Amino acid sequence: MQLLVTGRVQGVFYRSTAKRIAQGLKLKGYVKNNEDSSVSIVAEGDEAILEELLKWCHQGPENAEVKDIDVKYEVVTGKYPDFSIKY
């Protein structure tokens, strides 16, 4: 699953919290800030668990204001060893 999260999502611990949530859900992939102030997330795992992450992403951490999330489902590649923050 690929997510593009827009709104007030940088400078509010969105990446670090998303990483913690995804790791707790045993997902693989990454989260990163984009130059346009959005956040990208690539996550692989069981579809039901991915939906839990997506539900959290709509809320985000306390100071986030999520405006929109573009969701794309993709074939699992298995190339991610864990869930990390990409810089």
Catalytic residue among 20, 33, 34, 63: 33
Which residue among the candidates 15, 20, 34, 63 is catalytic per the annotation?
15
Q: Exposure pattern of 58-81 as b/e (b: 16+ CB <10 Å)?
A: eebbeebebeebeeeeeeeeeebe
pTM recorded for the entire structure: 0.95
46: Cβ contacts below 8 Å, ≥ 6 apart: none
Per residue in 27-70, pLDDT tens? 999 999 999 999 999 999 999 999 999 999 999 999 999 999 99
33 catalytically annotated: yes
63 among known catalytic residues: no
81 neighbors 24 (Cβ within 8 angstroms): no
| CATH number given to 2-76 | 3.30.70.100
